[in-house]
Structure 1
Amino acid sequence: MDDELRYDRMVESALRGVVREALTQAGETGLPGEHHFYLTFMTNHRGVAIPEYLRQKYPQEMTIVLQHQFFGLEVCEDRFSVSLSFSSKTERLVIPLAAITTFADPSVNFALQFQSAKEDGAEDEAEDGEAAAEDGAETPRAETPRNDAGGNVVQGPTGRGQTESTPAEGGKVVTLDAFRKK
């Protein structure tokens, strides 16, 4: 309906602003103390620019960690770019904020989980299971993060909300389901 206020979209936009602000501060002053970010993003989302060999290895989702060895973090209104080392080769990644499905800072038990919306702006997916069944995709399985040769932690496809970056007990994951109309 056109006459309804879309609070779910307003909340998602505000929460993506939190991600943008955290990345901006990290780019300007570095990460203080034990802070580090796990960012899971859709590799097939419009605007994602990653090397082809990474896209082939992670055709749906990829998790990167910004902690000790990241370079040239630049944040724009709708995307960020960063250079990371993969197998001793530095690569530049460009990731739209809309492609991010999970943002976490495990050092303070903070995480945000976003619903993946259809690219064409169609209505939000009703249920996680239905979405996977509609597009014929298998539900991805979680993988344990591992260090590549350059010291970066990379993680392959994950199930929604099943990343290793989920906060420990006592932490809070904010999901948009609480704000969606049932």
Structure 2
Amino acid sequence: MSREIDYGNLMHSAMRGLIRTVLQDVADKGLPGNHHFFITFDTNHPDAQLADWLRERYPGAMTVVMQHWYDNLDVEENGFGITLNFGDAPETLYIPYDAIETFVDPSVEFGLRFETAEDDDDDDAPTDDDDTEGTGETDAETPHASDGDVVSLDSFRKH
């Protein structure tokens, strides 16, 4: 019976731990300098919590922005809760770390992309699901993960 080290899952776990650490620092001390985050997550994840109207508007994935206005950032072991402003309507979200598809801090050109087996044929081009919400930013202002240092874990994944 042979055993293999699953580097792909270990890397995913480590990267999500990095996101948790960064968010905890922001919860404790606020966003430093020009730092801000674009976080794309799977709205269909069973543990994701968001208003029904948001889930209907973004049935696959949604990008939220943590920048000028956010409240109630609550960092937990498996995910984080946050209140964001959607067109002057505050909405509370809970985003599990394993629902996160991309995490980008354009102020320092840093990005993480968590690829799945379905992503193998995709490129980094934006799709109709790449809407930015939370601060009134538009798609044209949304940096994509290819703009900075991106850690792609697909090469480590066992197929």
User: TM-score band (shorter)?
Assistant: 0.7 to 0.9
Note the C-alpha offset of 1:127. Answer: 5.7
Gaps of 5+ in 2: none
Q: Decide whether the 8 Å contact of 2:83 with 2:91 is kept in 1.
A: yes
Q: Does 1:128 align with 2:120?
A: yes
Matches within 5 A, 1:50-89: 50-89=50-89
Cα RMSD (Å): 2.6
TM-score normalised by structure 1 residue count: 0.75
Matches within 5 A, 1:24-103: 24-103=24-103
The structure carrying a bigger helix percent of its residues is 2
Note the C-alpha offset of 1:13. Answer: 0.2
Amino acid at match of 1:52: D
Say which SS state the counterpart of residue 25 (structure 1) adopts.
helix
> Equivalent residue for 2:137?
153
CA–CA distance in structure 2, aligned partners of residues 167 and 129 of structure 1? 16
Distance 1:143 1:46, change over 3 A: closer
Note the C-alpha offset of 1:126. Answer: 6.7
Q: Decide whether the 8 Å contact of 2:8 with 2:156 is kept in 1.
A: yes
CA–CA distance in structure 2, aligned partners of residues 14 and 46 of structure 1? 22
Q: Does 1:176 align with 2:153?
A: yes
> Equivalent residue for 2:128?
141
Note the C-alpha offset of 1:41. Answer: 0.1
Note the C-alpha offset of 1:153. Answer: 3.5
> Equivalent residue for 1:166?
145
TM-score normalised by structure 2 residue count: 0.85
Distance 1:154 1:97, change over 3 A: farther
Amino acid at match of 1:141: D
Amino acid at match of 2:144: S
Q: Decide whether the 8 Å contact of 1:38 with 1:105 is kept in 2.
A: yes
CA–CA distance in structure 2, aligned partners of residues 21 and 66 of structure 1? 15
Say which SS state the counterpart of residue 17 (structure 1) adopts.
helix
Note the C-alpha offset of 1:167. Answer: 5.2
Give deviations 1:149-181, integer Å, cap 9, x for gaps.
Answer: xx44376xxxxxxx733253xx31001013224
Q: Decide whether the 8 Å contact of 1:109 with 1:167 is kept in 2.
A: no
Moved over 3 A (4+): 139-145, 151-155
Give deviations 1:48-84, integer Å, cap 9, x for gaps.
Answer: 0000000000000000010110001010011100001
